[in-house]
A and B are shown apart, each in its own frame.
Chain A
Amino acid sequence: MGTSREDISPDGGDLELLERELRRAMPRQHPAANFRDSLRGHLAYAARRERPAVEIARPKAPYLRLWWGLAALSIATTTFLIRRTRTAGTKGEETLG
């Protein structure tokens, strides 16, 4: 190491020197090869496993429920009107009869 601690912190010391010391004191580290490979494998597995779940969870055709609701309502209304018309017809016949 070219610089001693005296150089780092003299009175009115040079902050640039301290910056250089910081860079030297913290050299780049390399993750161990087995860690790198193992994590890559775990992530790949998790990614493959997660994707179908995401697909299934995605909401399908958001307006589909609305259409089904409207269709059911329409059938119910039609049935109700037919029955009421028939009932009214029968009552009319009875009154006349």
Chain B
Amino acid sequence: MPDPEEALVERARQEPAAFGELYERYLERIYNYTYYRTGNRWDAEDLTAKVFFQALNHLPRYKNRGLPFGAWLFTIAHNLVANWHRDRSRRKSVTLDKALALQRDDPFAAVERSEDYVALRQAIATLTQERQHLIVLKFVEELPNAEIGRIMGRSEGAIKALLHRTLKALRHHLKARQNGHIS
């Protein structure tokens, strides 16, 4: 019996309405991913839109080779975020601190502006792109290691090891900050 999502993807190739169902299913997850990778709502909206347009355009070429549709969307999102970071590094732009300060208008941000959370997010921002990708997939999307492995093209064991190293690096950064080595 075919996977219901696979059937939906197949239908979306023919009917625009079916793509709408996929959009509803994944919008929030992709938005969360781009939000935490960019640090602001505006770029998150822009990148989320790009992810879905790219998915729509490339849908006829999408083939499920062990990578579920959601994982394929996250891969597109990851590539677009990586391009966004690359473009941003070329020109002067707002830092994560400023981006967090800009969120004051966001009603959802009210809960999360404690000093500790800001420190934690700043620590995340110092990580490599790959590790930030992993942190968001693991702690925002709450995906299992096996699925993260499929998205990142690594084994489940490799993801587990990378996660452990990443958490240790974060803890080290927070400790250094606490001791005043990092302002």
Contact = CB atoms under 8 A, between A and B. Distances in A.
Interface of A: 1, 3-6, 8-9, 13, 15, 18-19, 21-32, 35-36, 39-40, 42-44, 46-48, 50-51, 54
Contacts of A3: 116
Is chain B's interface secondary structure helix, strand, loop, or mixed overall? Answer: helix
Which residue, B60, B117, B164, has most C-beta atoms of chain A within 10 A? Answer: B117
B96 to A, nearest CB: 13
A39 to B, nearest CB: 5
B24 to A, nearest CB: 8
B35 A29 contact: yes
Contacts of B167: 15, 18-19
A30 B48 CA distance: 12
Interface of B: 16, 19-20, 23-24, 27-28, 31-32, 35-36, 41, 44-45, 48-49, 52-53, 56-57, 60, 108, 111-112, 114-117, 119-121, 135-136, 139-140, 142, 164, 167-168, 170-171, 174-175, 178
Contacts of A31: 27-28, 31, 45, 48
